[in-house]
Structure 1
Amino acid sequence: MTHDEFFSRYLHAGPIGRDANAVAALFAEDGVFEAPLVPAGHHLPRLLEGRAAIRAGIRQYHQDLDVPGAVNIQESRYCLHTVDPSTFVVEIDTVFDLPDGSRSTMSFVQIFRLRDGKIARLRDYFSVDGAGGSVD
């Protein structure tokens, strides 16, 4: 599977499908999810270690997620950079259509490290304050 195919699976499991079981299944049993920019005390911990903790943490995050508007899939973009066969970086701009008719963009970066076709470590650099981006 290519990195782009793997990332597409991740998108459909998590941000699109919000299926914590499907997200956790993409991780190695001892996989690690890190969100270094999440403030202390946030409902999504900065560090989740192991598939069970990732499943529980992602499930809670999706339940508590306060999305500012509908995701505009046509306007949202990502750019994937392959570092080596086991590592890729994704720059993401997610566009939200807000209730007042305006748009907001949440920009972030994810670093995926794979082992045997599973995520060994994912670092997710995103902001948790509102849309986390700029209003267009």
Structure 2
Amino acid sequence: MSRTPQEIFQSYVYAGAMTRNADALAECFTEDGILEAPLMPAGAAFPQRLVGREEIRTAMAAYYARSEAKADRPPNVEKSAYVLHTTADPDVFIAEIDTVFDGDEGQEDRAVSLVQIVRVRDGRIARLRDYFAPDLMS
């Protein structure tokens, strides 16, 4: 049974942004899946391009371990929102995302907007291009 763009997107977000589970995140991808952040400069903490489920698993586990040390927190689901756009190609959808992170006491919330272009195959992500401001991941 084929999964819908909504199901694929929700499992990806839960595995990555919400639980930071590199194993679950990698399983969202096809064996040869590609995760790209084209706006990231070479050598940045967040990987610019990962090819294959195992490279995604390994690199994202390392990234999550580094960022946990900085006391990153998950997004506030109630304040965040997204819209999925289907395309003429049934294997491609676009996610328009507005993520909100709660501010510390006395500070304003931090809003982050981004766009993801997702190509799927057999109910998994074959290629995900994640467009966000690079300074958000430093």
Q: Normalising by structure 2, what TM-score? A: 0.87
Residue 70 of structure 1: CA displacement? 5.4
Q: Which residue of 1 aligns with 2:55?
A: 53
Shift of 1:69: 5.5
Give the counterpart of 1:108 among 111, 114, 126.
114
> Identity over aligned residues, as a percent?
46
State how 1:58-69 maps to structure 2 within 5 Å.
58-65=60-67, 66=70
Q: Name the stretch that deviates more: 87-96 or 41-50.
A: 41-50
Residue type of the alignment partner of 2:130: D
| Unmatched runs of 5 consecutive residues or more in structure 2 | none
Cα gap change, 1:59 to 1:68, in 2 (>3 Å): closer
- 2:82 maps to 78
**1:13 pairs with 2:19:** no
Higher relative contact order (CA 8 A, sep 6+): 2
Q: Report how many aligned residue pairs link the two structures.
A: 132
Residue pair 1:44, 1:60 contacting (<8 A) in 2 also? no
Structure with the higher fraction of residues in strand conformation: 1
TM-score, normalization: structure 1? 0.88
Distance change in 2, residues 1:69/1:101 (3 Å): farther
Let me know the Cα RMSD of the aligned residues.
Answer: 1.9
Alignment gaps of 5+ in structure 1:
none
Q: Which portions of structure 1, spanning 4 or more consecutive aligned residues, are displaced by more than 2 angstroms?
A: 64-71
